[in-house]
């Protein structure tokens, strides 16, 4: 479980996050949603320590991450897997070497054990036999799946996914969403997904945090987000004409 309490973050004079608090439970897919530039990626980067917070606390299963020194943070980070928006695969390494990288760095596994683990992770994301490809030879969807394989290689307790669907077609997006959901339930991981893709929200969102203007504007699940009367969420969820029509027809059905 990850808890954030009263997080404030600013860049020079510009404050991005204002007293953001929330709890992200394990075994659930927690979504951070919001329009671009509202602070959701900054919140996630604060949580993993890529940005220093101005004030507040971040607890990883009761351990205060913000108060830790570099070595303690390094230990927590070994329990974190992260899928980046652009996958962030090491382009000089093959798919296999990318997935093996954290194992080589942090474990005392034998080569055979590492190879077995890599094969297992690649199989889990349906990439068996693609070991020797370089990232530049993989499609966008494949790169995301390699990113997930690398993220789960160390059996993480916490999984962060930064816009996992960006740049993907709808079918591949759904595959990636389902993969994230399955992995979360299967390994009881605390998963946090940053997204503004509404189909992801409906597909995998067990707990949703809506960030607006740097504030924790709304929290709930995928059922309650449909029925909320919060105007900012309505604007966000029903942004397209198509979705507006769906909402109107839903309201008409309610009245009948």
Partner 1 sequence: MKMLGNIGKYFLMMKVVFTKPKKWVIFWRLLFNEIQLIGINSIPIVILMSSFMGGVIALQTASNMSSPLLPAYTVGYITQSSTILEFSPTIISLILAGKIGSNIASEIGTMRITEQIDALEIMGVNSLNHLVLPKIIAAILFFPILVIFSMFMSLMGGYISLVLSDLTSTETYILGIRAFFEVGNIYYALTKTVVFGFIIVSVSSFYGYYAKGGALQVGESSTKAVVASMVSILIANFILTQMILL
33 vs 80 by CB, closer to partner 1: 80
Sign of CA dihedral 50, 55, 60, 63: positive
* Minimum CB–partner distance for residue 89 and partner 1 (Å): 8
Closest distance to partner 1 from the beta carbon of 215 (Å): 25
Q: Which is nearer to partner 1, 42 or 80 (CB)?
A: 80
How far, in Å, CA of 154 to CA of 139, rounded? Answer: 24
> In terms of CB distance, is 77 or 130 closer to partner 1?
77
For the bound state, the minimum distance from the C-beta of residue 159 to partner 1, rounded and expressed in Å, comes to 11
Helix axes 95-106, 111-124, angle to 10 degrees: 130
Binding site for partner 1 (CB under 8 A): 48-50, 73-75, 77-78, 80, 82, 84-86, 88-91, 101-102, 104-106, 154, 160
Least distance to partner 1 from the beta carbon of 88, Å? 4
| Length, in residues, of the chain | 256
Determine contact, residues 147/160, Cβ cutoff 8 Å: no
Which of 85, 7, 61, 49 lies closest to 190 in space, CA to CA?
Answer: 61
Q: How do beta strands 190-195 and 158-162 pair?
A: parallel
Least gap, CB of 148 to partner 1 (angstroms): 13
Q: In this structure, are residues 137 and 93 in contact, taking their beta carbons and an 8 Å threshold?
A: no
Instruction: Please identify, using beta-carbon distances, which residue of 88 and 174 lies nearer to partner 1.
Output: 88
Which residue is associated with the tokens 């606390």?
57
Minimum CB distance to partner 1 smaller for 63 or for 244: 63
């Amino acid at each position: 479980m990850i808890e954030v309490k009263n997080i404030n973050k600013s860049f020079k004079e510009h404050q991005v996050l204002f007293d953001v608090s929330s709890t992200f439970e394990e075994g659930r897919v927690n979504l951070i949603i919001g329009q671009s530039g509202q602070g959701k990626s900054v919140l996630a980067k604060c949580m993993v320590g890529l940005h220093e917070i101005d004030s507040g606390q971040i607890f990883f299963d009761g351990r205060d991450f913000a108060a830790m020194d570099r070595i303690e943070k390094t230990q927590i980070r070994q329990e974190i897997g992260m899928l980046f928006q652009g996958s962030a695969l090491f382009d000089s390494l093959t798919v296999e070497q990318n997935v093996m990288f954290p194992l080589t760095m942090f474990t005392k596994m034998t080569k055979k054990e590492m190879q077995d683990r890599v094969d297992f992770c690649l199989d889990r994301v349906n990439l068996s036999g693609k070991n020797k490809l370089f990232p530049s030879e993989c499609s966008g969807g494949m790169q995301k799946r390699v990113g997930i394989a690398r993220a789960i290689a160390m059996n993480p307790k916490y999984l962060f996914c930064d816009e996992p669907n960006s740049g993907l077609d709808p079918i591949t997006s759904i595959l990636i969403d389902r993969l994230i959901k399955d992995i979360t339930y299967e390994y009881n991981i605390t998963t946090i997904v940053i997204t503004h893709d509404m189909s992801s929200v409906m597909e995998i969102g067990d707990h949703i945090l809506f960030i607006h203007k740097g504030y924790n504007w709304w929290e709930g699940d995928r059922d309650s987000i449909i029925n909320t009367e919060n105007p900012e969420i309505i604007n966000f969820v029903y942004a397209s004409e198509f979705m507006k029509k769906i909402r109107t027809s839903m309201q008409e059905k309610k009245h009948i």
